[in-house]
Amino acid sequence: MPVQWAGLSPELLLTVDRDSGERLCAQLEGQLRDAIRSGRVQAGERLPSSRELARILGLSRGLVQDCYAQLQAEGYLVTRVGSATRVAACAPVEPVPAAPRPPTRPRTVADFRHGVPDLASFPVADWLWATREAARTLPTADLDYGDPRGSPALREVVAGYLRRVRGAAADPARTVVCSGYAQGLNLALRALAGTGVRVVAYEDPGGPGTARAAARASGLTAVPVPVDASGVDVRALDATGARAVIVTPAHQWPTGVVLAPDRRHALTEWARRRDAYVVEDDYDAEFRYDREPVGSLQGLAADRVICVGTVSKSLAPALRLGWLVCPPALAGPLADLKRIADRGSPALDQLALARLIESGRYDRHLRRMRTTYAGRRTTLVAALAQHAPAVGLSGLAAGFHAVAHLPAGVEEQAVVAAARERGVGLYGMSECRTSKATTPPQLVLGFGNVTEHAITEGIGRVAELLDGGR
C-alpha cells in the first residue's frame, strides 16, 4: 500500500549534473526510471508537481513536463486532470527475490507469552489527556535538553509514589529516568564497573540472556546463583565472589517466589560486608492477590540497592519509560552515564506520566488491571483443574504469569512444539535456566495478554499434552 503523502508537493531526491554532457531531460528521465524500477518510489505514490520539481532543480517547467510525458508514454507514470502525477500501478519494477515463506501454522487461539501486560487495556483516553495537559502547561525552557536525570516533575512524582506504595527510600535528587529496564540495567552495571566491580551474579532460573548481555556490554563477568523456595541463595551468592547481584525480590522471575525476610536481611548484610551492590528489578510489584504487598528491598538498604522500575508492565512496554533509584555514591556516575547515553529521555512523555500518576488516573488503571488479571488467573486455575488436573501451578500470588509443573516423563519441548501445531503458544522454563535443562519439565504461562475465553479454549486444546495423556 503506497504512502499517501500529505502536503502540496512531496519531496523526491533527484539531481542533475550540468557538466556531464548528457542532456538534462535525459538525466531526469533516467533517474526517475531508476527510482521507480528499484522501488524507491512505489506504485500509486505522488511525484512532485512539475512546477515544484523545476524550482528545486533549477530547470524549466517545460523540461520537467516533457520528462513526465515521456515516462507516461512508457507506462511508468499516470496523470489525470485535476490530480497529481503518480507512479503507474503497472510500472516496470526490478524483481526482488521472494523471501522464503514460513511454514503455515494454525491460527493462534491463545498465546501464553509471559512478560506482556494486557495491551488492549492501555488507558488511551487517560494518556491523551495527560499528554495534552503536559503540552498545555509545558514551560518553553523544558523544550531544551534539560537535566539528564530526567524531568524534575516526574522524578518528584515517582519518588513520592515509591515512598508511598513501595516503602522505598526514594529521593528525587537520586532518581534517574531511563528508557525502560534494559537501559536501566545497562546503566547500573556500567556504573558498578566504574567502582571496580568485575563479577555480577544473577538469579537462576531468571533472565540469563538479558543479564549476561548487559554484563558483557559493561565488561563484567556474569555468574548464576540458584533460587529456591525462599528466593536467591545468599550463601551460594557469597561463594561466587561477586560484588553485585541482580534480583527480583518481590516476585521472583520466573518462579514467582518471594524473597523471605531472613534472606532479605542476609542479602543486605552481604552487600555491606562485601562492599557490594544489589540491583533490584521491581518489575510487577503493583499486582498482588493472595498476600500483603511486599515492600521494596531498596527501603532496607538505600546505600546498597539500585532499584530499577518501569511502566512496561503497569502500562505498556512501548512507552519505554523507567527509573533508577540510586545509592548516594552512584547517583552522580549514573546521571553522567545517562547523559552520555542519550542526554535524557523524551521530556513530553515524562511530563505526561507525571500528570497521569499525580492525577490519580494511574492508580485507577492499576486497580482495574488487578481485577482483570485476577479474573484471568482464576480462569487459568479452573481450566487446568478441569482439563489437566495432573498439572500443578505455582507463583500465582502476584503478577500475571504462573509456573505449570508437568508430570514426570512429559517432555517440555515436545509439549511446546505440539501445542504450536494446535494454535497455542507455550513457553518452557528451560529458556529461563542457564543450563537450558528441560527437567524438571515446567512451563511459564503468561496470562496478562490473553482473554479469559482464550485461556479456556487454549488449555482445552493442549490438555492431553500437558498431563501426558492421563
Predicted confidence band at 5 (pLDDT cuts at 50, 70, 90)? Answer: low
In a domain, 199, yes or no: yes
In a domain, 404, yes or no: yes
pTM of the model: 0.87
- DSSP state, residue 448: T
- Is the per-residue pLDDT at 82 higher than 80? no
Computed over its alpha carbons, how large is the radius of gyration of the chain?
A: 28
Helix, strand, or coil here: 207?
A: coil
Q: What is the Cα 341 distance to its own chain's centre?
A: 18
| DSSP per-residue string spanning 385-414 | HHH-TT-EEE--SBTTEEEEEPPTT--HHH
Predicted confidence band at 469 (pLDDT cuts at 50, 70, 90)? Answer: low
Work out the average pLDDT over 124-139.
96
Q: Which range marks the domain in which residue 4 is found?
A: 1-96
Q: Is residue 383 located within the same domain as residue 243? A: no
User: CA-to-CA distance for 340 and 215, rounded, in angstroms?
Assistant: 18
- What pLDDT does 470 receive? 57
Q: Which of 97-101, 137-141, 150-154 has the lowest mean pLDDT?
A: 97-101
Work out the average pLDDT over 215-227.
97
Q: Which of 27-36, 268-277, 378-387 has the lowest mean pLDDT?
A: 27-36
Q: Is residue 258 located within the same domain as residue 133? A: yes
- What pLDDT does 3 receive? 57
Domain boundary (330, 359, 388) is at 359
Q: Assign residue 169 the CATH number of its domain.
A: 3.40.640.10
In a domain, 7, yes or no: yes
In a domain, 103, yes or no: no
Q: Is residue 3 located within the same domain as residue 143? A: no
Q: Which of 42-51, 58-67, 174-183, 206-215 has the lowest mean pLDDT?
A: 42-51
Q: Is residue 337 located within the same domain as residue 351? A: yes
In a domain, 178, yes or no: yes
Q: Is residue 171 located within the same domain as residue 280? A: yes
- Is the per-residue pLDDT at 4 higher than 70? no
- What pLDDT does 7 receive? 54
Q: Is residue 64 located within the same domain as residue 48? A: yes
Q: Decide if 463 contacts 388 (C-beta within 8 A).
A: yes
- What pLDDT does 106 receive? 76
- DSSP state, residue 204: E
pLDDT for 41-69, tens place per residue? 888 888 888 888 899 999 999 999 999 99
- What pLDDT does 228 receive? 96
pLDDT for 265-314, tens place per residue? 999 999 999 999 999 999 887 888 766 778 899 999 999 999 999 999 99
Q: Assign residue 65 the CATH number of its domain.
A: 1.10.10.10
Q: Is residue 452 located within the same domain as residue 409? A: yes
Number of domains in the chain: 3
Work out the average pLDDT over 122-140.
96
